[in-house]
Structures are given as structure tokens and as C-alpha cells.
Structure 1
Amino acid sequence: MLRDRWDRPVDGGSWFVHHGEDSFGDAESRWEADVPRVTPNDRFFVRNHTRPPVIDEGAWRLLVSGDGVVGDTTYSLADLKAFTSTTYERAVECTGNGRSLFGTQQGTPTPGTPWELGAIGVARWTGVPLRTVLRHAGLRGDAVQVMPVGLDAPYVEDGINHGRVRRPLPIGKALDDTIIAWEMNGEPLPPDHGFPARLVVPGWVGIASIKWLGELRVTTSVVDSPWNTRWYRMHGDDWSGDHAVLDRMPPKSVVDVTGEPSVGHLTLLRGRAWSGEASIRMVEVSTDGGESWDEAHLTGPNEPSSWVEWEHPWTPTGVGPATLMTRATDSLGRVQPLEAPLNDDGYLFGAVVRRVVTVTSEVRRRTPA
């Protein structure tokens, strides 16, 4: 279960929970009650496989290659910026976001970075649609996929060199809403987030949004990489074939604000909901551990592959612990389940999240310390 409150900044104002000893290790956002709609760059979660590379913006080039284009073409950052750009607010979410809840909530712990629910952020990304660049480079009609390749150092595990981080993207998604981004919230991409350019693949598992982009290999046949076979694929009982492929993220929701609930007094619960490649149709809230559900009120923008805020009034009727639960339904009709399907790597935790709060009596709440 989630803690009664999100951790507040400690050690002089750190906004992160750091996972791992290396400087390129994982860093999870610590949300307070005032969760911003757009995540500031310095509060955006970090997930790197190797140390961020140091890249000279002026010398950087993007190579478009492979038998799926008419010939090799290179682009500078200035070349990309000469195309018509686009800006949108979209989430990037780690595939393992919520992994720790497999253990704390479902009693089935899995290995890997023990994310709670802070491995997600929404940013305002600016860049050029990937389809624009592919077509300019001479995309062939029989191309079936794009393999974006990062410029970070080759990833070595147990003495095996797996090469640079790369993961195939089907041509349909590449030509849809994927962009090559060079700005994050109106600023050049920070080093941890892919400077000088990265992919943003809305609604898909975070690993698809390759950082420090250096090459786009366009092919007329399906080519795999360790990042869609060895990792970032469902493994375990009942996972095989197309069923094991990881692409679109599931709907999720969370309670952010609980106030100080006391018997007989109104408190306003607030939170967020989001879903991969979909907007949110409805959020339901339970304040009695799932015995009953009420529909919450959605507020503000509600765009696909981003998050929407919700609020719900609650007047507690008894003192003691109360279990708050939220359940999102997205525009594709997907509903959060009570339990997330178990898999060996703890991916795609999309189950209803339980959050326990303590309801006090009016006297206890209002008596001076």
C-alpha cells in the first residue's frame, strides 16, 4: 500500500528517491500534494542504462539509414529545426512504474528497481514529427519498422556487451504521433533526458522513447534487439508470443491529496489518472476499501497519453483507518483491475492502488498541541 503521504523533500530539498549507487542510477520523483500538471525538468524521474554521454550540439548528427529508405541521410540539429515543429504535453513513464506494489500490495515481490508511482512525468515536448524526417529521407512503401539507436555507451551486463540502447518501433507508430524532441518544457533537453535530441513515443513504455538519439535504422524486415527480447518484454507463466509484447501503457490512477479527514467534516480528495494512447473517460473512488464506488469529477485538460486531474468530496463517518481506492476507465474502454497480472520483471503494474489514511475525531483534530 502507498504511504499515508508522499515523501516530502529531504536533505536540503531533494525531489528524488535515488535507486542505485551510480550517478546514472534511477531517480524517482517525490510528489507532494501540489502535483504540477507539467513536471518541472528538475523533478522529472530519471532512468538511464549507462552514464549520460557528453555530446557537442554543433557536431551532433542524426543518421537515417537502412533498406527502408532510399539512401543514407544525415541531419544536424539545425536541419531538424528547419522543419515545421510541434509541441505537446505527453507523459513518459517507466515500464516498471509501480513495481514495488507487486510486493507491498499483492504479496508477489519482483526483482528490479523498486519504483513506487514516481517513475512518470508529463512534459511539454517540442520537436519534429518522426514521419516528417522519415519521408524527407525517402521512406520506402515496404518499410515495416524503425530501430532508433542511442549514443550512450554500449550496455555491458555480466561481461556481455549488448551494444547501444535501441528498440524497434513499428512503422505505424513511427508515422503516427512520435516526435524527435529537442526541447523539454521550453528548454534544451537536460543531459539526463536525452540532450540534444530524443524520441518521444506517446503512450508507450518509456524505453521506446530512446534518448541521445544518434541513428534511425529503417528496415523492410523485423529486426529485434535485447531491449525488446531479453528486457522490456513480459516473461513468466502464461506470457508468450504477441501476448508478451510491451507497447501501450495501461490506465492508472492515484490519490494525491487527502486533506486531514475527520468524522463529519467534508474533505476534498484529489488525484490524477492517465493511460497510454487514450484519454480518461471516468475515475471512480472508493473510501471503504472497495465496498462501494462513486464517480469523481474530472477537471482540467484530458488529453491522450497525459494525465487528467480529478476531485471527489468525502465526509468520513467513522474514526480510524480508511482505505482509499481509485479506478480509472479510459477512452478505449480499459478498466483498472483489482490485481495486476504477475510477470517475472514487475512490468505494467496497473491495478487499483490502495491508500490507507487515518480519520480522526473532531475533538482530536482541533485540540491544540
Structure 2
Amino acid sequence: MYAAATIVKPLPPELFRSHGASAEMRWDAMAGQGYHTPTDRFFVRNHTFTPAIDAATWQLAIHGDGVRCPTAYTYDQLRAMPARTLDVAIECAGNGRRFYGSQQGEPAPGTQWGLGAIGVARWRGVPLRYLLEQAGVRAAALDVLPRGLDAPFEHYGHVRRPLPVGKAMDDVLVAYEMNGRPLPPDHGFPVRLVVPGWAGIASIKWLGDIEAATRELFTPWNTEFYPEITVNPIKSALELGWNAAIPLGRPQLLRGRSWSGRGRIVKVEVSFDGGRRWRTAEHHGRHLVSAWLPWHIGWVPRQLGEQVILARATDETGATQPPKTPQHPFGYHFDAVVRHPLRVVHG
């Protein structure tokens, strides 16, 4: 099962920045794309490497003292069940980690993601609630524990992270399709969890079994690696290359996307003068709670040389991106306004 490449799909440098076992989407690769992140440029976060799994022999087991009727389903059985389709963002908890160092002077350990460890896809699958109900979930159930089938990570075993049963019974999807096609190997084939709004570590790939328990569950992925990490914060990104060259005096239509795990984005503001003045961006597309809001703003650069663009968003809870994020020991949840550099050049 584990004889596979670290990442299976091509990683052309114009689409990705390589981070060893993981790959970050370049934001300029989203320019001109639709609402969803194309699968060929969706970021990849692996703890080890992408496994090769045979759907013909694969099964998903639902078990534990939190259900009355433990059972297992084949791939075909799962695909025959009542399905739901959701547009959901999946984002690594470490997205933006490098800005702790480069922008705030407080480097954090771990993969030095820019803002490209995020993607929105159209996922189709079976609601986890349905599977738990079919297994006779008990009123006393507290946690569910999905476990991946990728190779064990160091001495910690298979990647697994508990979910409270309330979240599991809400909007979580056991997905087998991504953007209208079966899941690719790098993104969880044959089946993965999709947990709207939560850090990507909750959306376990290559799902093998789900334990339902009447007690609180603990693994290294909710104690040692991602303690107290659940809902993703608010962020914004420009569909523009880092240090991009922009011609002087020519009208530009700058585009970007903003998102929050807490709720839909209600306002995006952009500054071209270091944050002294802010202009409200126009937006289009859908206001999806679990996905992102595309936006755009016009600008005519009037001064040659290096400049910085700032974009900040506000979500429906009233949360707005701050100028600085409190330091996190693992570099998680960077939500400050990112200073995006560019160069204004003679056209």
C-alpha cells in the first residue's frame, strides 16, 4: 500500500512552491481561474507520502463504544448512499507561517508556508452524520476519531485527530469526489474527511476507519502537534506574484480572495499607502460560509519603485484581520494583514 511517490501529481514551478513532502499553491496561478481551485494546482500537505490504495479492496469501518452497530462499507456501497455536495475551503493550520519571521521578526518552526496552503474545491460525498446514524450512534458519544491509511508518521502512528460528536453530526462530509471527479491520490483517494471551517488537519485523507467513543479522545495530533487548534481564522490574499512588476500609470484591476472559518466575509479593504487610507474592494461570486469571497479593486500606480499592498477582511462575526498576530509557538493561525510587495516599473 505504501509504495508510492511523495507527491504523485506534477508540481510545475509556475504553479507550486515545493516544501519537500508538501507543495504550496502559487497565488498568481489562481489569476483568471474560477471560484474553485483547479485540482492540478490545489496545495498538498503530506506527513509522509501519498499512498497507493486499491478501491476494490478498501473498506471504511465505523466502530467503537459510541455506536450500537459497528459496520464497514466498500467504496461502491459508500458511493451508492445519499450524497451531498459542498464548496469548502481546506487550509493548513500553518498557512502564513513564514510571515511570523519575515514580517514580524519572530520566526516559527515548521514548513514555511506563504499564503498558498489553502484551496476551495467542490466536494461530494456522504454526510458523516448519515454514517453515524446508520451505525446507531449513542447519545453518550463524545468524540469520533477518523484515521488515515498513509504510512505511519515517525513513531506516532497513522495520522488521526478527534472531532467532537457535535461537529461530526453537523456539516462534515466523507468525500469521494473533488471538483466533479474521483479524489486524486494526493487529495485522499479513495475517501477523505472534509471538515468545513476547521484547520486542514481535521480533514483526514485516505480515510480507513472512524471510531466513535463515549469518552474524550486524545492523539498526538490534538495534544502535541495541534493543541487547541480548531476553527481557522480570517485571511486575505492577492492573485498576484510576490514582487510582481506593475507598469507605471496604467490602470490595474487587482483581484484577491478572503476567507474565514468563522463565517462569511462581509467586507474587504485595500491600502496602497501602508495602511494610512483604506478603500473598500468590490466583490463578486458567492458568500459561502466555508469557502472564500473573490474581490477586486482598481488602481493606477503613480510612483516608480518598490511598493506594498495591504488587504484586510472582516467576517460576519465582526472579526477583522489585525496588523500583527500574537506569536504562536508552532506558527499556526497567522491572520495579520500581509504586506504584499510589488515593483512599479516603466511600461
- State the TM-score, normalized to the length of structure 1: 0.86
In the alignment, structure 1 segments of 5+ residues that lack a partner are 1-9, 234-244
Check conservation: 2:234, 2:260, Cα contact below 8 A.
yes
* Number of matched pairs: 333
AA at the equivalent of 2:129: R
Report the equivalent of 1:348. Answer: 333
Report the equivalent of 2:185. Answer: 191
AA at the equivalent of 2:86: Y
Report the equivalent of 2:248. Answer: 262
In structure 1, what is the Cα distance between the partners aligned to 2:18 and 2:34?
Answer: 21
Secondary structure at the aligned position of 1:106 is classed as coil
Task: Give the alignment partner of residue 317 of structure 2, picking from 332, 344, 367.
Answer: 332
In structure 1, what is the Cα distance between the partners aligned to 2:110 and 2:162?
Answer: 23
Deviations, residues 202-233 of structure 1 (Å, cap 9, x unaligned): 11000000011111110111011000111012
Matched, 1:163 2:157: yes
Check conservation: 1:261, 1:359, Cα contact below 8 A.
yes
- Offset at 1:51? 2.3
Report the equivalent of 1:246. Answer: 229
CA radius of gyration, larger in: 1
Identity of aligned residues (%): 50
In structure 1, what is the Cα distance between the partners aligned to 2:290 and 2:318?
Answer: 15
Shift in alpha-carbon separation, 1:352–1:13, aligned structure 2, 3 A? closer
Report the equivalent of 1:241. Answer: none
- Offset at 1:261? 4.7
- What RMSD in Å do the two structures reach over aligned CA positions? 1.8
In structure 2, what is the Cα distance between the partners aligned to 1:198 and 1:97?
Answer: 20
In structure 1, what is the Cα distance between the partners aligned to 2:301 and 2:48?
Answer: 48
In structure 2, what is the Cα distance between the partners aligned to 1:11 and 1:85?
Answer: 31
Report the equivalent of 2:217. Answer: 223
AA at the equivalent of 1:30: R
In structure 1, what is the Cα distance between the partners aligned to 2:74 and 2:49?
Answer: 23
Shift in alpha-carbon separation, 1:185–1:296, aligned structure 2, 3 A? same
Deviations, residues 138-192 of structure 1 (Å, cap 9, x unaligned): 0111111100011112211xxxx21111000011110111000001111111111
Secondary structure at the aligned position of 2:222 is classed as coil
Report the equivalent of 1:357. Answer: 342
Shift in alpha-carbon separation, 1:358–1:51, aligned structure 2, 3 A? closer
In the alignment, structure 2 segments of 5+ residues that lack a partner are 1-9
- Offset at 1:52? 2.2
Shift in alpha-carbon separation, 1:300–1:220, aligned structure 2, 3 A? same
Report the equivalent of 1:129. Answer: 127
- Offset at 1:321? 2.9
Matches within 5 A, 1:1-369: 15-20=15-20, 25-32=21-28, 33-156=31-154, 161-233=155-227, 245-257=228-240, 260-263=246-249, 265-360=250-345, 364-365=346-347
- State the TM-score, normalized to the length of structure 2: 0.91
- Offset at 1:260? 2.7
